[in-house]
Amino acid sequence: MFANANISDVDLSSFEIFSSMSEEDLSEVKRLLFRRTYKKNQVLFTEGDPRERIFLLKEGYVKLEKTNIDATMLYINYIKPNDIFPYVGLFTETFYRYSAYALTDIDIYYIPTGHFESLIRDKNDQLYFILKRLDLLTKRHQDRLQTVSTSFATDRVEQSIGYLVKNFSIETEEGYYVDIPVTMMELAKVAGTTRETVSHVYRDLKQDDIISMDGKHIIVHDMDYFINKST
């Protein structure tokens, strides 16, 4: 469903990139916004599509990925609510480098890329924020490469769990809660192995009280186990 937001009461306060923007500039952003909802598994864009939109995720979760001809994931990242994407390619590229699809039902805004780039081109705070995000994405990608550096499937599963908890978790009383929904099949894709292997590794880790599942969310009870695995 498409809808032109074009209303003054769009709340952008939860998006950190806009926190220091003037009211005048915020009004211009809101004027240019469109809103859309996607159902789970719907595609937002695919690798090679014209880089026409910058997205602002309001609700739900999005997955970014790039695969090769063998269906091996070369790049993977997850977008949580109140973030924008894609950062990679701003000001320099005319096509998307990877694909994006809705990991859950999502509610999202978008703004034409050219307008967004024009709005932030001379805004030091926004440019600095983007540089920090690009640095974070580089570190995440390095972590991800470590998960595929071993030929042992069980190790890849454990390293993939470690990658998820390091980059996408919050600390709770129960442990580290991975706040993106991850099914066994999704974890198998991340680890580059089968669902059966993931299920086997999960059963062993659960039996040792290292991890558990809350619905589709992983909870890590023994973070030291994964820290030791990565050293």
**Which pLDDT tens digits describe the chain residue by residue (231 residues)?**
445 545 456 888 889 999 888 888 889 899 999 999 999 999 999 999 999 999 999 999 999 988 776 656 677 889 999 999 999 889 999 999 999 999 999 999 999 999 999 999 999 999 999 999 888 888 877 776 766 666 688 888 998 898 888 888 999 988 999 999 999 988 888 888 889 999 999 999 999 999 999 988 999 999 888 877 655
CB neighbours of 4 closer than 8 A, spacing ≥ 6?
Answer: 33, 34, 35
Q: How far apart are CA 66 and CA 98, in angstroms?
A: 5
| Right CATH for 149-229 from 1.10.8.60, 1.10.10.10, 1.20.120.420, 3.90.1150.10 | 1.10.10.10
Interatomic CA distance for residues 103 and 65, integer angstroms? 11
What are the start and end residues of each CATH 1.10.10.10 domain in the chain?
A: 149-229
CATH for 2-145, options being 2.40.50.140, 2.60.120.10, 3.40.50.300, 3.50.50.60? 2.60.120.10
Domain with CATH 2.60.120.10 in the chain: 2-145
* Cα 93 from Cα 88, distance rounded (Å): 8
CA distance 110 to 30: 10
Q: Are 182 and 164 in contact (CB under 8 A)?
A: yes
pTM of structure: 0.84
d(CA 187, CA 180): 12
